[in-house]
Structures are given as structure tokens and as C-alpha cells.
């Protein structure tokens, strides 16, 4: 699924970036960079749906063990405190037990909500809704952090403010998950992954970035990493994940469909940063208040 096995060397490279925000993309509704005419559009769209679904299944395969472990960790205190509460007649003790159960149940709900997001069939790829990206990030982090820890990748998350954007939540979740797994694969000996979310200086754009301390991307590869079927991976990693050359192409396709762009920056030997840039929107309640005041 992930497509950017970084090359070990040491020189700086320029950034690679997808189409400008708000501009008209020259790419088809299928894969970015594959020209088709109108008679082929429906077939390409069907193929695109299949590839997005397959990439989602691939993500689930990578994370399944860690996610089930986290879910078990959430369910265990629910069972234990329920048993203890039933045995103890003290009302204060039972209340404490119920609070522990509630806390663990909310954690389990966050995990299952994230998994449901990835398993949605996604038939309506054009669906958009105002979405709290901070909440979306939390759901993805719960899914991926066990896999990162297993590969000695430390995750640092920093969210500034409460950015919202009109997006298809499952698709943005899929893109972020892909970038996080890419970052982990770029650090075969472990390292640090920094995830940053916030608004730009204008307040009109949301920026969501994933930075790794991996080996970086070679200058000759950086300009091509978003091309379909282009992969720098020569073999699967220790979790069995190789490179189809479609992961980043699909990510760019999804982000551009949201009138955003995906930017990549890298310095060999010092890691890489992938930044998702999306138009910001107001939370639903704030939008409704403004309309009522008008």
C-alpha cells in the first residue's frame, strides 16, 4: 500500500506538489495522470473505486493485529469492573466501577468508529460533510499507534485549534493512514513520526502534515512519487507490505477531488514531510448561528 521506500544518501531535494487548490485538475476522475476520454470515464471510475477499496483493505491488514489488541485492552477493564461492581454492595465503589467502565467503553467506541470508517464501502465517493479533523486524527491515531510502537516508531501529535473541513471522512482517514504507514516504513530502524494539524496564517486552509526521521527520498524519485505504478520499493517490508505504486497516486487523487493538494518535501538522510492542504470550513453550529443572525 505504501509507496515510498526512501533511499539512503544525503542531499537536499525540492518539494513535490499536486495541483493547486481551487484549480482545475488536468487529471481524470480515475487515477491522477492517466488520460481517458469521456467514453472511458465510467470504466475508469469503477476501477478507481476498486483500487481505493483494495488500498483500504490493505491498511486494515497491516493494522488488524494491533487494533484487536487495543480493543481487547479496552474491553478487559469493562469486564473486570463490571464483575467487581456486582460483587461489592458499596454504592460509592459501584459508582467508581461504572466510571471506569464508561471510560473504557468510550475508548472502545473510538476504536470501532475508526475501523468502521475504513470498512465503509464508499459507494458515494463524492459525499462531503463538515468534519472535525481533530477528531478524525484521534481516530486514526488509535488505529495506527500499536503498529508504530511495534516498529519502534514514536508518534508525537500536535493539534492547534479545532480545524474543520468539508470532506469525505473515510477517504481522508485513508489518506492519513497511508501517510503514517509510509512514514513508519521509511524508518526501518525506528525513529519519530510527528503529526501536525492546524490552520494556515490566513485561517482559510487546513494543513495536516506527517513528518518522519527516515532515510529520505532521492531527488530522482521525489518528482515521480505521485505517478501511478511508480514505486521505489524492491521488496516487502518485515510486515509483508510491498509497493504497488498506487498508494500515493490514490492519495493525491482523493485530495485533489477535495479541491486540496498534497505536498512532499524531503532531505536525504533527514526524513520527509507530507502535507495535506484542504479548504477550511466552519463547524455546522457556527454556520447555522451565522445564517440565523443574517
pLDDT, one tens digit per residue, over 181-205 is: 889 989 999 999 999 999 999 999 9
Per-residue model confidence (pLDDT) at position 226:
76
Q: Flag whether pLDDT at 162 surpasses 80.
A: yes
pLDDT given for residue 49 in this prediction:
62
**For the chain, domain boundaries:** 16-73+112-293
Q: Does 70 score more than 80 pLDDT? A: no
CA dihedral 177, 183, 187, 191 (to 10 degrees): -90
Q: Where are the alpha helices (DSSP H) in the chain?
A: 41-87, 91-119, 133-150, 169-185, 219-222, 247-257, 284-293
158: cell is: 500536535
Report residue 237's pLDDT band, with 50, 70 and 90 as the boundaries: low
pLDDT range class, residue 153, cuts 50, 70, 90: very high
| Per-residue pLDDT, 84 | 85
What average pLDDT does range 66-88 have in this prediction? 78
Higher pLDDT, 240 or 100: 100
- The topology under which CATH files domain 16-73+112-293 is Heat Shock Protein 90 (3.30.565)
pTM of the model: 0.66
Q: What are phi and psi of 2, to 5 degrees?
A: -80, 150
The percentage of residues in the chain with a pLDDT greater than 90, rounded to a whole number, is 28
Cα distance between residue 24 and residue 259, in whole Å: 9
How far apart are the C-alpha atoms of 174 and 151, rounded to whole Å?
Answer: 20
Please compute, for residue 82, the number of CA atoms within 13 A of its CA located in the half-sphere on the CB side. Answer: 10
pLDDT top residue among 218 and 207? 207
| Cα(14)–Cα(288) distance, integer angstroms | 43
Nearest-angstrom CA–CA distance, 238 and 147: 12
Coil, helix or strand at residue 17:
strand
**What sections of 154-226 are H helices per DSSP?**
169-185, 219-222
Amino acid at each position: 500500500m505504501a509507496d515510498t521506500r526512501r533511499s539512503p544518501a544525503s542531499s537536499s531535494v525540492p518539494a513535490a506538489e499536486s495541483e493547486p487548490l481551487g484549480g482545475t485538475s488536468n487529471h481524470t476522475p480515475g487515477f491522477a495522470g492517466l488520460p481517458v476520454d469521456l467514453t472511458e470515464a465510467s470504466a475508469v471510475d469503477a476501477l478507481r473505486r476498486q483500487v481505493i477499496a483494495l488500498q483500504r483493505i490493505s491498511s486494515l491488514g497491516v493494522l488488524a493485529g494491533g487494533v484487536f489488541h487495543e480493543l481487547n485492552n479496552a474491553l478487559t477493564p469493562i469486564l473486570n469492573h463490571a464483575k467487581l461492581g456486582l460483587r461489592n454492595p458499596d454504592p460509592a465503589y459501584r459508582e467508581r466501577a461504572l466510571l471506569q467502565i464508561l471510560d473504557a467503553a468510550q475508548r472502545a467506541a473510538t476504536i470501532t468508529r475508526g475501523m468502521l470508517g475504513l470498512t465503509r464501502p464508499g459507494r458515494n465517493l463524492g459525499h462531503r460533510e463538515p468534519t472535525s479533523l481533530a477528531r478524525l486524527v484521534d481516530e486514526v491515531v488509535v488505529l495506527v499507534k500499536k503498529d508504530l510502537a511495534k516498529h519502534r516508531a514514536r508518534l508525537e501529535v500536535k493539534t492547534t485549534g479545532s480545524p474543520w473541513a468539508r470532506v469525505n471522512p473515510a477517504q481522508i482517514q485513508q489518506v492519513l493512514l497511508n501517510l503514517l504507514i509510509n512514514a513508519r516504513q521509511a524508518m526501518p530502524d525506528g525513529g519519530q513520526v510527528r503529526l501536525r494539524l492546524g490552520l494556515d496564517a490566513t485561517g482559510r486552509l487546513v494543513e495536516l502534515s506527517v513528518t518522519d526521521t527516515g532515510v529520505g527520498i532521492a531527488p530522482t524519485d521525489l518528482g515521480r512519487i505521485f505517478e501511478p505504478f511508480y514505486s521505489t520499493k524492491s521488496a516487502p517490508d518485515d510486515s509483508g507490505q510491498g509497493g504497488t505504486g498506487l498508494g500515493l497516486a490514490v492519495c493525491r487523487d482523493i485530495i485533489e477531488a477535495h479541491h486540496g493538494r498534497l505536498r512532499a518535501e524531503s532531505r536525504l538522510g533527514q526524513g520527509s514531510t507530507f502535507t495535506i492542504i484542504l479548504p477550511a470550513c466552519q463547524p455546522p453550529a457556527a454556520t447555522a448561528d451565522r445564517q440565523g443572525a443574517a
